[in-house]
Amino acid sequence: MKTVFLALLLATACAAPALASSADQVWTFDSVSSDSANGEQSSAHQVYLLIMGQVAAWNSQDIEGFMAAYWKSPKLVYLDDGEQVFGWDQLYANYVNGFSDRSLMGYLEAQRVKVQMLEPDMAYVLLWWDMLLGRPRSKVVGTSTLVVRRMDSEWKIVAAHTTSLQP
């Protein structure tokens, strides 16, 4: 019995690095990986730059710039903590109405961005973020998953899901 246990323990220990490396290989780009600095012109890096452009626009209190990353279509799908928003116009209206005082938009920081290229013109993005929101500032943390497509040589978010909480 002891031999079987040791054999299983050894097999698990040997398999763990292989499993970890295969899980890491799922992602084409990871903002916290030194390997991601290579290939700055890659599609995955372009998607990353789209997301970072959104962060910069948000921090400049530029809702229009933030929304430029989204597909301007009634078919855009956005889910935020269970609330469903359909269409670019509705999402834009929600942001404009929700932040009529744009100074309340606060500060957004992308903690980590992972991009997986599904096809040459489609990517899946996993984003971890922190935000200081409102007045007085309260911290909100969250994750977002995005489906991004290249349309007419531009990358656009076509579907998004965000979950957040106040720690």
- How confident is the model over 134-141, as a mean pLDDT? 91
- Whether pLDDT at 155 is above 60: yes
DSSP-assigned letter for residue 108:
E
10 has pLDDT over 90: no
As a whole number of angstroms, the distance between CA 87 and CA 26 comes to 30
CATH topology (fold) of 27-165: Nuclear Transport Factor 2; Chain: A, (3.10.450)
Mean of all residue pLDDT scores within the chain = 86
The pLDDT, as a whole number, for residue 115 is: 97
Q: Band of the pLDDT at 167, cuts 50, 70, 90?
A: confident
Give CA–CA dist 158/22, Å, rounded: 28
Between the CA of residue 132 and those of 4, 50, 154, 159, what are the distances in Å?
A: 53, 21, 30, 24
20 pLDDT higher than 60: no
Domain chopping of the chain, boundaries = 27-165
Q: What are the φ and ψ backbone dihedral angles of 136, each rounded to 5 degrees?
A: -65, 160
Average pLDDT of span 63-79: 99
User: pLDDT value at position 134?
Assistant: 86
Percent of the chain with pLDDT over 90: 74
Q: How far apart are CA 20 and CA 27, in angstroms?
A: 12
Q: What is the mean pLDDT of residues 73-86?
A: 96
Q: Kindly tell me if the per-residue pLDDT of 68 is higher than 50.
A: yes
Of 94, 83, 58, which Cα lies nearest the Cα of 160?
A: 83
pTM, full prediction:
0.82
Band (pLDDT 50/70/90 cuts) for residue 16 is: very low
CA dist 147 and 15 (Å) reads 32
Q: 1: pLDDT confidence band, cut at 50, 70 and 90?
A: very low
Q: Which amino acid is at 112?
A: R
Helix (H), strand (E), coil (C) string for 55-96: HHHHHCCCHHHHHCCECCCCCCEEEECCEEEECHHHHHHHHH
Q: What is the pLDDT of residues 42-61, one digit of tens each?
A: 999 999 999 999 999 999 99
Determine the pLDDT at residue 163.
Answer: 97
- Paired strand residues for 4: none
Cis bond leading into 17, ω under 30°?
Answer: no
